[in-house]
């Protein structure tokens, strides 16, 4: 059994060793030590600044779309990427983006995208269109996140 005191002593010992090593380093590398410390403090400060502030729903939705969908989708008309463009997708027929080579599964499907269909698809694409080609995509389990993404898609109808 190693008691807490022993561990604390061992840790302290290691720190002291480290200190001794640092002290023994030649002048040039010893100067590097405080620099590294300053850098991590600055990095930490930036990380704290960059942490998300409470945003409005639409900003949330845009951010979530950017994180979860934008690698493969644009909402600009005609801008097909790895996935078809999602311009005015709410109310658009499935597999209707011009110039995009859909999977046969999605091409064969015959429905119009509603908020409900999108919600189900974003949660689990295969449950709505079995054999579709939207991969790799894990599905979004959080209903609130899905709602915000769909609201964002609604707002991105090209106005
Ligand atoms: C890894 C790339 C990728 C990601 C990430 C991705 N998709 Fe897709 N998506 C695709 C591909 C590829 C297709 C075409 C599927 C097919 O042809 O079967 C597609 C198809 C779709 C369609 C059908 C469009 C139509 O014209 O019928 C919708 C809607 C859609 N994606 C929404 C989303 C949303 C919303 C997200 C983010 C929550 C997302 N996708 C994330 C690649 C992706």
Residues with CB under 6 A from ligand 1: 68-69, 71-73, 82-84, 86, 89, 94-97, 102-103, 105-106, 113, 118, 121-122, 132-134, 136-137, 140, 149
Token duo for residue 39: 């850098």
Distance, CA of 99 to CA of 119 (rounded, Å): 25
Of 107, 70, 101, 105, give the one whose Cα is nearest residue 86. 70
3-state DSSP assignment of residue 155: helix
pLDDT given at position 58: 77
pLDDT tens digits, residue range 20-48? 444 455 555 555 555 555 656 555 555 55
pTM for the predicted model, two decimal places: 0.72
Distance, CA of 139 to CA of 97 (rounded, Å): 22
Token duo for residue 107: 């091409």
Distance from Cα 53 to the centre of ligand 1, integer Å: 29
User: Does the pLDDT of residue 94 top 90, yes or no?
Assistant: yes
CATH class held by domain 57-155: mainly alpha
Q: Which of 62, 81, 83, 155 to mutate to test the pocket of ligand 1 (most atoms within 8 A of CB)?
A: 83
The neighbour count for residue 79, using CB atoms within 10 Å, is: 13
Average pLDDT, the chain: 80
Q: What kind and span of H or E run contains 33?
A: helix 27-50
- What is the domain partition of the chain in residue ranges? 4-50, 57-155
The neighbour count for residue 112, using CB atoms within 10 Å, is: 12
pLDDT given at position 18: 47
**Residue of minimum CA distance from atom 2 in ligand 1:** 72
For 82-113, the DSSP string reads SS---TT-TTPBTT--TT----HHHHH---B-
């Amino acid at each position: 059994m190693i008691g807490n005191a022993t561990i604390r002593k061992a840790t302290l010992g290691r720190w002291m060793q480290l200190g001794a090593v640092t002290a023994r380093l030649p002048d040039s590398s010893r100067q590097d030590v405080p620099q590294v410390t300053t850098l991590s403090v600055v990095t930490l400060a930036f990380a704290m600044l960059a942490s998300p502030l409470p945003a409005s729903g639409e900003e949330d939705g845009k951010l979530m779309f950017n994180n979860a969908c934008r690698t493969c989708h644009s909402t600009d008309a005609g801008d097909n990427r790895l996935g078809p463009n999602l311009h005015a997708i709410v109310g658009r027929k499935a597999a209707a983006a011009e110039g995009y080579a859909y999977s046969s599964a999605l091409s064969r499907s015959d429905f119009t995208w509603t908020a409900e269909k999108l919600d189900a698809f974003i949660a689990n694409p295969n449950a709505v269109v079995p054999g579709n080609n939207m991969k790799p995509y894990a599905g979004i389990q959080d209903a609130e996140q899905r709602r915000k993404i769909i609201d964002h898609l609604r707002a991105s109808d090209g106005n």
